[in-house]
Amino acid sequence: MKKRKKKTRTQKVWGFIKFQMVLMVLVLAAVAYYYAGGYAAKVSAMKTEAVSLVSHSSKETFRQSQTSIAYDVNGEVLSVLKGEKDVYYISYDEIPIYIKQAIVSTEDKRFYKHNGIDYKGIARAVVAMIQDGEVTQGGSTITQQLARTVFLSTEKTWERKIEEMYIAVELEKKYSKEEILEFYLNNVFFANGYYGIEAAAEGYFGTDVNHLSLSQMIYLCAIPNNPTLYDPLEHPDKTLERRDRILKSMLDDKVISENSYKTAVAETITTVEPTTIKNNYAETYTYYCATRALMECGGFTFQTVFADDEERQQYEKEYQELYEECNAKLFTGGYRIYTSIDLHAQNQLQASIDWVLASFTEQNEEGIYALQGASVCIDNTTGMVRAIVGGRSQDVEGYTLNRAFQSYRQPGSAIKPLIVYTPALERGYTPDTIVVDEPVENGPDNGDGRFSGAMTLRQAVALSKNTVAWKIFDEITPEVGISYLESMGFARLDENDKRLPAAIGGFTNGVSPLEMAKAYAAIENDGGYRNPTCIMKITDAQGEEIYQSDQSATVVYKENACRQMTDMLRTVITSGTGRGYSLGNMPCAGKTGTTNDNKDGWFVGYTPYYTTSVWVGYDIPREVAGLGGGTYPGQIWHAFMSWLHEGLEPIDFVAPMSAQE
């Protein structure tokens, strides 16, 4: 018996020795293969890259792609600007304690103990890999998941896994556990395009994370483990089951009470319907203005007048490059954009255009209405855009052409106060100056087809006499007249515009509704021109202000000339081409404009409160039966301005000095 036991013991010893020898041979073979196969160099390179990636990182690295939000003047969300990811970044202190505890409990129980790698977890992953023949799971720590999300791809290869581990170790050296958890919860994927716990809260429940119930918080924490399997929109039952398991684990860990557990498990979870905010024309104009605001922050100087074509081309090249760069930042920078747009006024202006043009049902090949309208409203108190509509409402994918600032059309007689009459008033003309409406050699006819002889300048303006405007423009010279538009940054002016036909709206490229509104607003503002942006201010994700609008005015016209012009434009509405569009007790002034063959119709008018321009026409110019400044454009202007001024106290315009004496 003793001999048998001794023999058995000896066999075990020799067996162990043989096993050790075989193991040693395998290890030596593995080491030899590791070096001979070039893996040593590859792993070394991975480590070097990991060290470099982390050493060059900062806290900003983990908030590089954040969702920006634009607000209207009343604080309503106007637009949510996001790139590939929907990310709202919040600090560690802003993250509810239950979420931190739940994520650590479910994703990485040893989070506060390891140095970035959980070796027990890796052992489990190795066993699974041997059993499955491929990498199917990992003992990935929160730090490793962060490394993968921010620095690497999600492909399951041994190279990616090794580099992930190196990065995780380096992250733990550089950042605290609290910072790593903050980075993770702001970058982890919650399905359906939501990255970060705040984006998930907003997306699934329509509120910020601190207003969620315990049950809702843990429901969200159930998602990241497997966003496909626990997708709340596709598999809400599975998400609910995992929520309950996490809550039970938190109860067992004494993180929550029995009462809290029962209440949370019993709560019915209802996610909100995913909605996409789309304020077509207000959004595209906001993006345009916000992009230019970022360009301005970078020191870019905007320009509309050039010495020659070479200078223009160079400017346009530099402009376009920087515009694209800043526009991209807009969708990933986490900005908070505060605008002067009033969505209530925006909707009313849109409704006014849609209502007046409703009978025109013809559509082009793309299904877009053929006859279009565009309008811009400026708040005269601030000089900023209150509402902007670039076309009729239609249910179409994406954004449509915003004609309010992207289309340039012939302005007809609406241009006369800007380049003819106000400049003439500065040079000694008065509303009572006698002018003669008579045929002009190589000159224009009048819209009414008649020549009325001697009349006051006020009458000539009210009846929109082309001959009078032509002669005065010739007198003050086209160069002088056009210089006023140059001073107000009209973008599509051409050297060929410095000729007599411009007096009645004959331009090479034309003007936009935005430009017409801002120029008339300058007249209302006693000649002080203000850039009509809609951006009041922009802050970064931390609330630090990076842009503040400067609405200081540049003097373009003389004060008294503007007051005289306003006085004459009041006559246009009371007894001229704009009659019928009075706003009751609210003093108002305006001008009509109609181009040859009724291709474009304009109405631009203002009160002490607001200035609004309206254009109607086809995108490809053609005759519109019955179109004139005093028809459809005037109707749109009147409908909108009547609504806009409801309940406002009537304010009179300041009388010109000649009228006071």
Whole-number pLDDT of residue 26 = 52
Last residue of a domain, one of 240, 266, 292: 266
* Spatial separation of the C-alpha atoms in residues 76 and 342, rounded to whole Å: 9
Helices 39-55/158-174 angle, 10° precision: 40
Q: How confident is the model at residue 448 (pLDDT cuts 50, 70, 90)?
A: confident
Does residue 572 form part of some domain? yes
Could you tell me which of 584, 597, 638 has the C-alpha nearest to residue 614?
A: 638
At which of 228, 246, 266 does a domain end?
Answer: 266
Whole-Å CA distances, 208 to 60, 190, 196, 254, 294: 22, 15, 12, 26, 27
Instruction: Look at residue 576 and tell me if it is in a domain.
Output: yes
Residue 95: inside a domain: yes
Query: Is the per-residue pLDDT at 21 higher than 70?
Result: no
Q: What is the pLDDT of residues 33-62, one digit of tens each?
A: 444 444 455 566 767 777 887 888 888 888
Please list the residues that pair with 554 across neighbouring strands.
Answer: 529
| Average predicted confidence (pLDDT) for the chain | 89
* Listed range (276-285, 334-343, 429-438, 570-579) with the worst mean pLDDT: 276-285
Cβ-based neighbours of 48, under 8 Å, separated by 6 or more:
none
CATH number, position 647 = 3.40.710.10
Whether residue 272 is contained in a domain is answered as no
Closest CA to 561 of 525, 596, 597, 595: 525
**In the prediction, which pLDDT does 135 show?**
42
Q: Is pLDDT larger for residue 657 or for residue 486?
A: 486
Q: Would you say how long the chain is, in residues?
A: 661
Catalytic residues: 107, 413
Specify the pLDDT at position 124: 62
Average pLDDT over residues 510-526: 98
- Does residue 148 sit within a domain? yes
Domain end, chosen from 266, 296, 317, is at 266
Query: Where is pLDDT greater, at 511 or 273?
Result: 511
Same domain, 409 and 260: no
Is 381 a residue whose pLDDT tops 70?
A: yes
In this prediction the pTM is: 0.79
- Tell me if 244 is assigned to some domain: yes
Is there a domain that residue 643 lies in?
Answer: yes
Q: Give the number of domains in the chain.
A: 2
Rounded CA-CA distance 520/313 in Å is 30
Write out pLDDT tens, residues 203-232.
999 999 999 999 999 999 999 988 889 999
Domain membership of residue 192 as a residue range: 85-266
**Partners of 545 in beta bridges:** 539
pLDDT digits (tens, 9 = 90+) for 533-585: 999 999 988 889 999 999 899 999 999 999 999 999 999 999 999 999 999 99
264, pLDDT greater than 90: yes
Phi, psi of 350, deg, nearest 5: -60, -45
Interatomic CA distance for residues 610 and 380, integer angstroms: 5
Residue 357 within any structural domain of the chain: no
> How is 401-448 classified by DSSP, letter by letter?
--HHHH--B--GGGGHIIIIIHHHHHTT--TT-EEEE---TT-PPPTT
pLDDT of residue 41: 58
Question: 65: exposed, middle or buried (C-beta count within 10 Å: 0-12, 13-18, 19+)?
Answer: buried
What CATH number does residue 162 fall under? 1.10.3810.10
Please indicate whether residue 607 or residue 551 has the higher confidence score (pLDDT). Answer: 607
